[in-house]
DNA sequence: TGTGTAAGTAAGTGACTACTTGCATCCTGG
DNA sequence: CCAGGATGCAAGTAGTCACTTACTTACACA
């Protein structure tokens, strides 16, 4: 049991560093402090081990959620974005490896797409609720808006290490900056920051 | 000369499909219709061959440019975005492979970051010029705005194949939709679509 | 006609890979 | 105290990998 989990953790770590082909059973065994043969007795093959390691990792994701009823979009979305971008940053190595190998190992794609798909749905649902509340003053497609925010964070998490100058500074505020930009695109009014003078339309049903 | 280019092209193709470790000299030689040994005589080693193939590919990029003086932001940015996202889509396989292997082969990072860095600078410059013209009515950080638009397109190009439901439909309009969303975030007025009623501030220096 | 250069063929080298077999060791539960 | 299961060790198998050596062929040019 314990041994098994140690091997799974080591396999995930080695995979994050070297990818599938580079994750030799020798390396995994060394990383786990275990004899190579134990891996084969426990999991049968390298492929089965890595498959299980991936599943194990996906299951222990634990994404943040957004409230059903938006009340403070800037705060709520910023917090959600920060947790999402942190999730991506912590896993950036493994995500890069997985993406690079998805064409050769399509069975991984289910594992890989689970988290972002769920996050996208969560965000879309929130944006739709926000619009229904009258919290937005611009027309927008929720899916596009969600893809834009998540895409920006994804690219940031994947690329900042390689080209830090391209991404906003400081790193810790990036999620907030992307979020604010998106909210402006949707025409969301900001409580404290600046009282815009467009009280024209859709100030009707601020209820809920 | 001709042979050399054939081998370089084959190497790039094989690398896009299988990554560095999966690009065996045997596979590259077969793809190029050349004897394996010719590769070693021409390039010395597999590593040197792939390095040169990458450089060759980066040099033949040919990015679109944006005008120095913005005149029709929606049109100009949409065209630029479409060419950028098409660039990414055509190279999505090779980009994924490169990203996955950048930690193991850091010498690739120069090659990989050249195009996006250049594109980011181009876009930033344009946004700054647009703001200086008074074409925007919201405060924004150009780098963040550029990172957001490019990030959205990057994620779209990398992820749409794996999870088409997450990204805006149809694929052909995605670049335009992201662009419009960004322009709204900057407070850019749209010529024909809708005449907003906020002529409050910063309508002073529409010169240039 | 001779010479140099790029290419091919055949064979092989040493290292590494996933995976197997046989046997010794240890720890635990009954 | 002892049986059984998990683990380790040593050795080995068949395959692949990058890369080499030795020799041959084809063509260009002088």
Quote the minimal CA–CA distance from A99 to chain B in Å.
6
Closest CA to A94 of A2, A12, A203: A12
B156 exposure class (CB count in 10 Å sphere: 0-12, 13-18, 19+): buried
Task: Mention every residue, 6+ apart, whose C-beta is less than 8 A from residue B146.
Answer: A166, B120, B123, B124, B127
Out of B104, B158, B185, the one facing A184 most closely (by C-beta) is B185
Contact across the interface for A152 and B151, Cβ inside 8 Å? yes
For residue B191, pLDDT beyond 80: no
Q: B152 vs chain A: nearest CA distance in angstroms?
A: 4
What sign does the CA torsion over A143, A144, A147, A150 have?
A: negative
Write down the residue that tokens 């910023």 correspond to. Answer: A78
pLDDT at B116 over 80: yes
Q: What percent of chain A has pLDDT over 90?
A: 84
Q: State the Cα angle at A62 between A185 and A6, rounded to 5°.
A: 140
Q: What is the mean pLDDT of residues A184-208?
A: 53
Query: Strand D: which bases are under 7 Å from protein Cβ?
Result: 6-11, 16-22
Name the band, by pLDDT with cuts 50, 70 and 90, for residue B62.
Answer: confident
Task: Please tell me the distance from the alpha carbon of residue A160 to that of residue A166, in angstroms, as a whole number.
Answer: 7
Six token digits for residue A150: 């998540």
Look at A56-65, A87-96, A115-124, B21-30 and tell me which has the smallest mean pLDDT.
A56-65
* Tens digits of residue pLDDT in A15-51: 999 999 999 999 999 999 999 999 999 999 999 999 9
- Of the listed ranges A4-8, A107-111, A136-140, B191-195, the least confidently predicted one is B191-195
Across the interface, of A116, A144, A174, the residue whose CB is closest to B181 is A144
Tokens read off for A196: 């815009």
Partner-chain contact B144 A97, CB within 8 Å: no
Residue A155, CB, strand D, below 7 Å: no
Confidence of residue B1 (pLDDT cuts 50, 70, 90): low
């Amino acid at each position: 049991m314990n041994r098994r989990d140690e091997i799974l953790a080591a396999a995930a770590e080695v995979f994050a560093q070297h990818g599938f082909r580079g994750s030799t059973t020798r390396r995994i065994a060394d990383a786990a402090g275990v004899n190579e043969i134990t891996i084969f007795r426990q999991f049968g093959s390298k492929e089965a081990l890595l498959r299980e390691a991936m599943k194990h990792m996906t299951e222990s994701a634990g994404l943040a959620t957004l409230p059903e009823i938006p009340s403070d979009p800037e705060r709520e979305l910023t917090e959600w974005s920060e947790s999402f971008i942190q999730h991506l940053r912590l896993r950036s190595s493994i995500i890069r490896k997985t993406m690079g190998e998805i064409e050769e190992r399509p069975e991984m794609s289910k594992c890989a797409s689970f988290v972002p798909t769920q996050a996208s749905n969560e965000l879309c649902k929130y944006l739709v609720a926000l619009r229904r509340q009258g919290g937005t003053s611009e027309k927008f497609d929720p899916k596009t808006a969600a893809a834009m925010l998540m895409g920006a964070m994804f690219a940031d998490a994947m690329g900042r290490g390689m080209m830090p100058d391209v991404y906003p500074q400081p790193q810790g505020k990036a999620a907030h900056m992307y979020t604010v930009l998106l909210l402006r695109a949707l025409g969301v009014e900001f409580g404290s920051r600046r009282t815009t003078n467009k009280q024209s339309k859709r100030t009707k049903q601020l209820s809920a």
